[in-house]
Amino acid sequence: MNIEVRLFATLRTGRFKKEVQTFERTVTPKDILDQLDIPIEEVAILLINGRDGQFDTELLDKDVISVFPPVGGG
């Protein structure tokens, strides 16, 4: 199963912008974030295929997840 992972802003630091990752078993966005050492509390927006998603959703082959950090200054 291939999942495209897109990281934005500071989450790219030391990681990547976009990468297709292959998994032998079912995974959730939380599993992928854990593997990338991204704590859930550092994620403000999680999209699955461009729509608001949940951390515990079981992903399907060719799904795309996009992950953004909280931007809150003024």
- Contacting residues toward other proteins, per CB under 8 A: 8-10, 12, 17, 40-47, 50-52, 66, 68-74
Q: How far apart are CA 3 and CA 53, in angstroms?
A: 14
Query: Between the CA of residue 68 and those of 24, 26, 36, 37, 46, what are the distances in Å?
Result: 26, 23, 14, 14, 7
Residue 31 beta carbon to other proteins: minimum distance, rounded to whole angstroms = 17
Strand partners, 22: 2
Residue whose CB is less far from other proteins, 3 or 67: 67
The three-state secondary structure class of 33 is helix
Residue 28 beta carbon to other proteins: minimum distance, rounded to whole angstroms = 15
Residue 73 beta carbon to other proteins: minimum distance, rounded to whole angstroms = 3
Residue whose CB is less far from other proteins, 24 or 52: 52
